[in-house]
């Protein structure tokens, strides 16, 4: 099957193409060079005047894992208010802030997204996360495995084991949990919470293990680098949401000593303590530091107004915020003695000073960081807003007058505390394509996604140019997944199943002896059951695994 996409205006930053009119050919799922004149074209789409990009990639979205189901159980009203009927090809579902798996896949695809990555896969719950993501149609998916508050790692650090022991454990866990990256959530803080610590600064010791978050971050970032894992250590920093945490974040950037590190939902970590309300924007300082330190990448975690639910492994900070729950109900729990979880429903309101300033801080960050290859478009779905608000966010970034009109309606004190109105930058289509496609694929280490060059998989989104960028990005004309047309005019026309992206670093098998003892003595699961086999992902006939190469692999 040879498909020709004719005459579209192509934005393919992976190959340095910025709005050039050119044809794209797809053969058997992959993009190919222009075939010879004698080759017959099986299907042609006339894309004259349309905008062509590769399929978008959400590099941080909570779409799998136990906390999603806790949020669903906690918020039946979220589901009652947003029912989705079945069609001949799609299944029914529901949910605005935390939609059901099937609806998640359809809605992402209908916005032109072809991949999403779950950033908080607890190793002990990884099976459930993969099963849940296995029920998300169309999208490719993958997970970052959560380490840093697990007792085994903290024991290694307390016992002053060498870096190699940690590397082996990290590599072993990545393989066992079938992940593509490593995530740290409030390094050591989830564990410290269980020893009755209610906050943990970067250099504060865990009361039991006497390990500091800084040590954990350095050790894990080193492990990720030495193992050759393409995705840098994915860090949800200390002191999320605490006024003044901008200092912690800057210190974290400094302290990692040049190692690659991704700071996620940085908006929640960019708060100062100035002004009458002792809450101010630290976005400018963060952006300056990010611009200076080329080893740092960030995603924003933009807040957008409305009802949502925050779901995080950071039970320390979620517990601290539970009084803000709206509606007033919340869950904080331990997970299998190995991690934690907090779910707090939230309603961001534009007439609330803090919420309005959070909104502005996120946008300031977007606009003040120069290099779109190192900043990514997220709302930390569903924590800042549901992923369905991305087109609105893109319009805010691309349309200064729209942005300033919205700003003018916010809490007046918040308006005084932000420099947003004076920032003239408007994102270009090419920059949006970098943030949501080429950059994301590069950051995660996806070999053959995120670009439109020959050899890439045919994940392609086609939009109609529209000055209202929200309308443009809400409803793509066509979305192709692996060369198959899955969405037409913003509606799913075919349901396919994506692959699960992983990495497979090597490890010394000798560590399983010690792990075996540890599992038998302390954990709720046997070591043999902890490891997920390939069959579990693929045996339903829909799922598949795609392993990506390591960088200067060990």
**Chain residues that interact with another protein, rule: CB under 8 A:** 74-77, 80, 327-329
Is 75 or 246 the residue whose CB approaches another protein more closely?
A: 75
Nearest to 496 by CA among 13, 196, 138: 138
Is 198 or 329 the residue whose CB approaches another protein more closely?
A: 329
- CB neighbours (10 Å) of residue 42? 11
φ, ψ of residue 230 to 5 degrees: the values are: -60, -40
Instruction: Tell me the two tokens of residue 374.
Output: 């190192």
27 exposure class (CB count in 10 Å sphere: 0-12, 13-18, 19+): middle
Instruction: Tell me the two tokens of residue 218.
Output: 């350095």
CB 373 within 8 A of CB 439: yes
Q: Distance between CA 382 and CA 116 in Å, rounded?
A: 13
CB 121 within 8 A of CB 177: yes
Q: What angle (nearest 5°) sits at the alpha carbon of residue 72, between those of residues 57 and 359?
A: 55
Is 330 or 427 the residue whose CB approaches another protein more closely?
A: 330
326 exposure class (CB count in 10 Å sphere: 0-12, 13-18, 19+): middle
Q: How far is the CB of 79 from another protein (least distance, A)?
A: 9
Is 43 or 92 the residue whose CB approaches another protein more closely?
A: 92
Q: How far is the CB of 293 from another protein (least distance, A)?
A: 45
- Mark 313-325 as b/e (b = at least 16 C-beta within 10 Å): bbbbbbbbbbeeb
Residues 126, 127, 128, 134: is their CA dihedral positive or negative?
Answer: positive
CB 266 within 8 A of CB 300: yes
Is 87 or 533 the residue whose CB approaches another protein more closely?
A: 87
Stated as kind and residue range, the H or E segment containing 322 is none
Is 41 or 89 the residue whose CB approaches another protein more closely?
A: 89
Tokens 């080193």 belong to 222
Residue 192: half-sphere exposure toward Cβ, Cα within 13 Å: 25
Pairing of strands 113-121, 331-335: unpaired
Is 20 or 86 the residue whose CB approaches another protein more closely?
A: 86
Is 77 or 539 the residue whose CB approaches another protein more closely?
A: 77
Q: How far is the CB of 319 from another protein (least distance, A)?
A: 20
Q: How far is the CB of 325 from another protein (least distance, A)?
A: 10
Is 80 or 526 the residue whose CB approaches another protein more closely?
A: 80
Is 72 or 231 the residue whose CB approaches another protein more closely?
A: 72
Q: How far is the CB of 388 from another protein (least distance, A)?
A: 22
Residues in Cβ contact with 340 at an 8 Å cutoff, skipping those fewer than 6 apart? 149, 190, 193, 194, 313, 314, 315, 316, 332, 333, 334
- Distances in Å between the Cα of 138 and the Cα atoms of 96, 108, 185, 450, 545 are 19, 9, 28, 16, 14
φ, ψ of residue 95 to 5 degrees: the values are: 115, 130
Is 80 or 416 the residue whose CB approaches another protein more closely?
A: 80
Is 76 or 455 the residue whose CB approaches another protein more closely?
A: 76
3-state secondary structure of 267: helix
User: Is the peptide bond prior to 180 cis by the omega test (within 30 degrees of 0)?
Assistant: no
Is 243 or 327 the residue whose CB approaches another protein more closely?
A: 327
Q: How far is the CB of 313 from another protein (least distance, A)?
A: 23
- CB neighbours (10 Å) of residue 517? 11
Q: How far is the CB of 66 from another protein (least distance, A)?
A: 18
Nearest to 63 by CA among 115, 132, 123, 126: 132
End-to-end CA, the chain: 39
Pairing of strands 181-185, 233-236: parallel
Is 246 or 325 the residue whose CB approaches another protein more closely?
A: 325
């Amino acid at each position: 099957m040879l498909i020709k996409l004719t005459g579209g205006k192509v934005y393919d930053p992976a190959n340095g193409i910025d709005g050039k009119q050119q044809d794209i050919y797809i053969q058997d799922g992959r993009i190919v060079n222009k075939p010879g004149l004698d080759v017959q074209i099986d299907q042609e789409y006339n894309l004259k005047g349309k905008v062509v990009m590769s399929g978008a990639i959400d590099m941080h979205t909570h779409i799998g894992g136990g906390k999603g189901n806790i949020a669903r159980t906690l918020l039946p009203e979220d589901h009652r208010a947003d029912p989705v009927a079945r069609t001949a090809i799609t299944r029914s579902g529901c949910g605005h802030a935390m939609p059901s798996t099937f609806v998640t896949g359809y809605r992402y695809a209908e916005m032109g997204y072809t991949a999403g990555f779950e950033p908080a896969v607890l190793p002990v719950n990884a099976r459930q996360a993969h099963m849940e993501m296995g029920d998300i149609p169309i999208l490719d998916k993958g997970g970052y495995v959560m380490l840093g508050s697990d007792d085994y790692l903290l024991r290694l650090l307390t016992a002053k084991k060498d870096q190699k022991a940690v590397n082996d454990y990290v590599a072993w866990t990545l393989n066992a949990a079938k992940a593509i990256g490593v995530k740290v959530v409030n390094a050591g803080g989830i564990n410290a919470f269980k020893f009755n610590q209610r906050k943990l600064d970067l250099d504060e010791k865990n009361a039991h293990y006497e390990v500091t978050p800084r040590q954990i971050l350095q050790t894990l970032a080193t492990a990720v680098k030495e193992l050759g894992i393409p995705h840098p250590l994915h860090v949800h920093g200390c002191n999320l949401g605490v006024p003044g945490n901008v200092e912690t974040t800057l210190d974290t950037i400094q302290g990692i000593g040049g190692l690659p590190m991704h700071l996620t939902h940085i908006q929640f970590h960019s708060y100062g303590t100035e002004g009458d309300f002792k809450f101010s924007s630290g976005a400018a300082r963060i952006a300056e530091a990010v611009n200076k330190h080329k080893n740092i990448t960030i995603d924003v975690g933009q807040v957008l107004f409305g009802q949502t639910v925050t779901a995080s492994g950071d039970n320390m900070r979620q517990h601290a915020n539970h009084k803000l729950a709206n509606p007033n109900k919340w869950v904080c729990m331990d997970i299998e003695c190995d991690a934690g979880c907090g779910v707090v429903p939230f309603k961001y309101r534009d007439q609330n000073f803090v919420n309005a300033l959070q909104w502005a801080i996120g946008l300031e960050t977007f606009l003040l960081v120069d290099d779109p290859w190192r900043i990514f478009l997220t709302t930390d779905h569903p924590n800042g807003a549901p992923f369905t608000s991305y087109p609105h966010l893109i319009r805010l970034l691309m349309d200064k007058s729209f942005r300033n009109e919205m700003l003018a309606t916010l809490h007046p004190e918040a308006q005084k505390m932000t420099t947003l109105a004076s920032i003239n930058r408007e994102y270009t289509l090419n920059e949006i394509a970098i943030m949501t496609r080429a950059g994301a694929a590069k950051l995660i280490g996806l070999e053959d996604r995120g670009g439109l060059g020959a050899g890439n998989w045919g994940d392609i989104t086609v939009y109609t140019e529209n000055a209202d960028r929200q309308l443009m990005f809400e409803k793509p004309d066509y979305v192709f997944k692996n060369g198959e047309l899955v969405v037409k005019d913003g509606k799913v026309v075919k349901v396919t199943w994506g692959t699960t992206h992983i990495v497979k670093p090597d490890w010394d098998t000798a560590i399983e002896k010690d792990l075996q003892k540890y599992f038998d003595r302390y954990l709720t699961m046997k070591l043999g059951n902890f490891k997920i086999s390939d069959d579990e992902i693929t045996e339903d006939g829909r799922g598949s695994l795609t392993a990506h190469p390591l960088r200067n692999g060990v």
